[in-house]
Structure 1
Amino acid sequence: MTDRHRRPFRHRITVLGAGQAAAHAALVAGAGLVLGARRHLDAAGVPPERAVALGPLAPALDAVADALDDGAGPVVVLASGDPGFFGIVRALAERFGPEALDVRPGVSSVAEAFARVGLPWDDAVVVSAHGRDPRTALNVCRAHRKVAVLTAPGAGPAEIGAALAAVPGLRRRLLVAADLGADSERIEEVTPEQAAARDWPGVHVVLSLGPGAERPGAMRAVAGGADAAEGGWGLPEDAFEHRDSMVTKAEVRALALARLGPRLGELVWDVGAGSGSVAVECARLGAAVVAVEKAADGVQRVTANAAAHGLDVLVVHGAAPDALAELPEPDAVFVGGGGTDLPEIVAACAERARRTVVVTLAALDRIPAVRAALLAAGFTAEGVQLQSSRLAPLPGGVVRLAATNPVFVLWGNRLDPSSGDEQ
């Protein structure tokens, strides 16, 4: 859009993405205030008396407001890449209104990183760790095979590498792009272990790639690798390999998933996974998943079911609660089965879960102990008996109702200790 097509606003803030400062040197030179990272200000040769280096965002926005109020002249913001993509445009629009902004984006650093290595990125998940809980970025890398991470201190290549290296059997390679567009630009391919063992000065985009990520799939209609699960959820039992009907029934699984609320950026445990049907469905909905199963043949079934659905599910061979000790903190936990040690397992899961625990069991006698374990850990304790009858064919083209075994579904959400409300 040319200047003559831009609407005239009284207080314009011009936001220049990467590569735009040189193209608009006169605009930068005539600005009353120039806001940006120190490297951008230095590269543009902005005098100190007209420059505000970005650090904490609130004081920088206050400086912009003061400059506009004082009529000090145009305000220019120098940004990285596309400033509307996980960038400063959001904060500026919230403070000053979108009508005050004249945004001239550059190429996003994510697009540059994928371009450098010759990969399409319409099937990638992009996650930012700037000013956010790094667990989200780490769980996305665990769950998805093509991820770009906009890094931050405490969530850089070393931390990403350490998180991925800690997951046995998870196959990932990391492409670390540093200082894209600068003379010091470099791209290195490393293993998670190698990334974890190094210091990484500079500004980075990390591409986390799993097996097959370098092979473009079918042409996509919607960008982004975190598709909604095709075919819905609560899949039929024959969508999973299982033994002697030992699989969480679709109706029970659908309610359990509704209470678990698995989502992109979260980690779910499936404890006593059996066939892994709940683990697979949580992964289909975007969550990172750890399935814990004590039977060796069960481990094989969970692994096969995850592979059949094209998903990465970490399968841990061991018995809870001991097998849980070294696992990363979960957001939600599903506990299946109903042995005599069920209350102890639920207590161990509730101690670690950040948000929700869901338990399925068949024995009425064990409900009080499970509820007590949830309540003792600071959770709510709710539940239902779920019994369904499916239509089954009869001779003559008619149907009957075939009852399934009743199952109790209990769940709890962690209470906010400061308010008593659910988190």
Structure 2
Amino acid sequence: MITVVGCDGSPLSQEAMDRLQAASLVVGGRRHLESVRPPERARRIVLGDVPAALAEVDAAEGDVVVLASGDPAFFGILRALRGRGHAPEVLPAVSSVATAFARIGLPWDDAVVVSAHGRDPRTALNACRALPKVAVLTSPACGPGEIAARLAGWDRTLWVAERLGGPGERVVRRTPAEAAASDWADPNVVVVLDEDRLAAAARVHDQPAAPPDGWAHADDFYAHRAGMITKWEVRAVVLSRLRPTLGRLIWDVGAGSGSVGIECAEHHAAVIAIERDPAACELIRRNARSSGVRVVAGAAPEAYDGLPDPDAVFVGGGGLDALGGALARRPETVVATFAAVDRAAAARRLLADAAYEIEGVQLAASRFADLPGGSFRLEAQNPVFVLTGRSR
């Protein structure tokens, strides 16, 4: 029998103690092995090299206890054990995330939990950039300092919870700059908050990643100047190509009213809107007040300096220089719109020279317009070329 026992610093239950006393093999982190003191006769394996430790569990005869932090079914060892064909019994403790929120005194039914442990941290970082309440399970390679440094430019507050349940427990509130300049003790959990958006939330029990309320909103959903907006028919196609989702970072270049970037943010992508016109930047901020879009004022491609690499880029303004600068950052997807045939052709050459797979379409929509007497006519919209490049 394999039993997975969660440890949160509290005394183990009698059931967990009984399983531990009966075990012939005990596997766990060094601090867990030291805190629970398995019987002398039991073989002990420090859980450093996880695949090697799991191989020992596979080959073990007799009862096995695996010690894990908090709730082993929550970003824990249970998934790996089940992936190897085991069906262990789990005796959980309180998860580190639940403990961290309890120490801070915040509800967390509207939080998203992500992990930067043993995986590419981009997804976790982009969740912190996109959403107002995120808990991050850290790793030595991506701890509070690294997370804070890569949130530069986003208005966030960090709570760092160190050594929860242990004698050195500490929970502190820091700005990203303060957290990036500090040293932190392992293990730790980081809670990242956008306090302005949390304070402005109209509904306190929303699910953290609920689907958006539609997409390709009507043009008058946004404040814009003299029709300078990516029309909803075009926006619907652009969104389908950008594929915004949680964990992705999207640049909206030449953002204008910000409509494309805002709708990407509604799909929980992290978004940077880049716009050179100061008046347009103010429009974007008004339109994006509850979406978490970061606005960068400046002309592309110079405004790209210092920004994190995007997963996808939409170029709605800024011309060929903006497109060429974006391609130099090698995003997975680039979508660009043009009204002029010659610019569309030149953009296609840029995408081809950068070894992107290309597709293109011309969109020419006509909208119903009312006439006297209850009839209607077709009102033609300006045709637009939509080019999409995907990295090979």
Structure 2 CA distance, aligned partners of 1:280 and 1:48?
Answer: 61
Among 312, 334, 341, the residue aligned to 2:292: 312
SS in 1 for 2:234: helix
The count of residues paired between Structure 1 and Structure 2 equals: 387
Name structure 1 gaps, 5 residues minimum: 1-11, 416-423
Structure 1 CA distance, aligned partners of 2:311 and 2:22?
Answer: 51
Q: Is the 8 A contact 2:6 2:70 kept in 1?
A: yes
Q: Deviation string for 1:57-82 (max 9, x for gaps)?
A: 21111000110xxx2x1111111111
Structure 2 CA distance, aligned partners of 1:220 and 1:77?
Answer: 36
Q: Is the 8 A contact 2:313 2:331 kept in 1?
A: no
Q: Which amino acid aligns with 2:43?
A: R
Q: Deviation string for 1:328-360 (max 9, x for gaps)?
A: 1000000013x6xx2332121112133100000
Q: Which amino acid aligns with 2:139?
A: A
Among 4, 22, 27, the residue aligned to 1:30: 22
Greater Cα offset, 398-407 or 235-244: 398-407
Structure 1 CA distance, aligned partners of 2:230 and 2:198?
Answer: 35
Structure 1 CA distance, aligned partners of 2:384 and 2:58?
Answer: 60
Q: Deviation string for 1:199-224 (max 9, x for gaps)?
A: 11221110111124665863536x4x
Among 49, 74, 98, the residue aligned to 1:111: 98
Q: Deviation string for 1:19-49 (max 9, x for gaps)?
A: 5872121211210111111111111112496
Q: Is the 8 A contact 1:359 1:411 kept in 2?
A: yes
**Corresponding residue number in structure 2 for 1:15:** 4
Q: Quick check: 1:58 aligned with 2:51?
A: yes
**Corresponding residue number in structure 2 for 1:173:** 157
Structure 2 CA distance, aligned partners of 1:252 and 1:83?
Answer: 46
Percent identity between the two aligned chains:
52
Structure 1 vs Structure 2 CA RMSD: 1.7
SS in 2 for 1:246: coil
* Residue 397 (structure 1) shift: 2.4
**Corresponding residue number in structure 2 for 1:418:** none
Greater Cα offset, 200-209 or 13-22: 13-22
Q: 1:79 to 1:21 in 2, by over 3 A?
A: farther
**Corresponding residue number in structure 1 for 2:211:** 228
Structure 2 CA distance, aligned partners of 1:161 and 1:391?
Answer: 50
**Corresponding residue number in structure 2 for 1:332:** 312
Among 203, 209, 225, the residue aligned to 1:218: 203
Q: Is the 8 A contact 1:333 1:353 kept in 2?
A: no
Q: Is the 8 A contact 2:3 2:66 kept in 1?
A: yes
Q: 1:364 to 1:299 in 2, by over 3 A?
A: same
Q: Is the 8 A contact 1:36 1:54 kept in 2?
A: yes
Q: Which amino acid aligns with 1:330?
A: P
Among 253, 265, 275, the residue aligned to 2:257: 275
Give TM-score scaled by structure 1 length. 0.88
Name structure 2 gaps, 5 residues minimum: none
Q: Is the 8 A contact 1:269 1:333 kept in 2?
A: yes
Q: Is the 8 A contact 1:139 1:267 kept in 2?
A: yes
Q: Which amino acid aligns with 1:395?
A: P
Structure 2 CA distance, aligned partners of 1:49 and 1:379?
Answer: 58
* Residue 400 (structure 1) shift: 2.5
Give TM-score scaled by structure 2 length. 0.95
SS in 2 for 1:380: strand
Q: 1:21 to 1:354 in 2, by over 3 A?
A: farther
Q: Quick check: 1:40 aligned with 2:25?
A: no
Q: Which amino acid aligns with 1:325?
A: D
Q: Quick check: 1:146 aligned with 2:137?
A: no
